[in-house]
Chain A
């Protein structure tokens, strides 16, 4: 993600110890990344409040799921009264991206002598911001410093997300209506900008454009399944289009 990736390249290539790597991860996270993510969770917290769900629901969602798009999908589907099967599929489809992210990050975090359950635990901390920071920094670190760096960076982001959820929930009830409206608007805007930030691969803008058009239309046509169908049909169309463009270029 660009807010992490755009930082200057004056990092040390390695830390003195795994502990120093963890402190480094903490420091890197507690700048812009924690602020942006915390703020977007303020939006989530106020959304939870406005939806009439309790604080425990909001905190449980941030502790247990910690992948904001899926959390919002779940919340919105509770609100529109979609079926639980549709909710499960929509959240699973929204978070499908975590699979390739995990597959690409975990081999990098491995170091000899660690039990494998550690990686199952660390995987819970894989979400866009921390993942992007680790993908940027870890290749330059010795293997035994990578997991401490990632866990500390992503763990700090997790704490920032929890604090944001709490703050947003409390703020939604006590700040002027106009502020809570602005906070609610924060989430779609944040994700829009995250996606606009990295369009280097051609399939990304194609998939985004198709999804952007199909999403609202299919929501009108079939409120509970519109999102899943948008992903599967729109994504497959984008994939096919990208492949045909590649094939077309190869033929010339």
Chain B
């Protein structure tokens, strides 16, 4: 194994770690209830993890987004959320306004 193989091993591991839950879900579909304490806990873990990832990507980004000042990232997120709710929960509008805000602030 060389350093060049590493991203490919990571890709393969990522694919296995993803399909695993789908395959297991089909196998268990007849046996476990879609509602109940176990599934609720699973949902909480998934939500907390994803929220942690989103916050990290916005507050402590790795890569080029780090060039954008934190205050501008915050303003863009606020614009996106405001547009999303003003457009009656239209994700497309929210995403477009938020990313446009980033583009405008970076260009100024």
Contacts and interface: CB of A to CB of B under 8 A. Distances in A.
A181 B64 contact: yes
Contact of B48 (A70, A89, A92, A238): A238
Nearest to A106: B29
Interface string B62-80: 1111011000010011001
B86 interface: no
Nearest to A179: B103
A211 B101 CA distance: 26
Given A47-B63, A191-B54, A203 B25 contact: no
A98 B46 CA distance: 9
A202 to B, nearest CB: 11
Contact of B42 (A96, A206, A213): A96
Find the residue from B17, B34, B52, B68 having the highest chain A CB count within 10 A: B52
Nearest to B31: A103
Contact of B51 (A84, A87, A100, A212): A212
Given A36-B92, A181-B65, A181-B67, A99 B21 contact: yes
A230 B7 contact: no
B14 A219 contact: no
Given A64-B15, A219-B60, A97 B99 contact: no
A94 B50 CA distance: 7
B14 A227 contact: no
Interface in B78-108: 80-81, 84, 88-92, 94-95, 98-100, 102-103, 106-107
B102 A99 contact: no
Contacts of B90: 3, 6
B51 A119 contact: no
Contacts of A182: 99-100, 102-103, 106
Nearest to A66: B18
B63 A235 contact: no
Contacts of B42: 96-97, 99-100
A157 interface: no
Top 8 nearest A-B pairs (CB, nearest first) are A102-B25, A215-B52, A231-B49, A211-B51, A235-B45, A211-B48, A234-B48, A230-B52
Given A126-B22, A181-B106, A236-B41, 7 more contacts: A3-B90, A74-B10, A95-B21, A96-B42, A189-B80, A209-B51, A237-B48
17 contacts: A3-B92, A94-B46, A97-B42, A100-B34, A102-B26, A102-B29, A107-B29, A120-B23, A185-B102, A190-B95, A195-B50, A206-B44, A207-B45, A210-B48, A218-B52, A228-B49, A234-B49
Interface of B: 6-11, 13-26, 28-30, 32, 34, 39-60, 62-65, 67-68, 73, 76-77, 80-81, 84, 88-92, 94-95, 98-100, 102-103, 106-107
Interface of A: 1-3, 6, 32, 35-36, 39-40, 47, 50-51, 53, 57, 60-61, 64-67, 69-74, 76-80, 84, 87-89, 91-104, 106-107, 116, 119-120, 123-124, 126, 178-197, 203-204, 206-216, 218-220, 226-228, 230-232, 234-239, 242
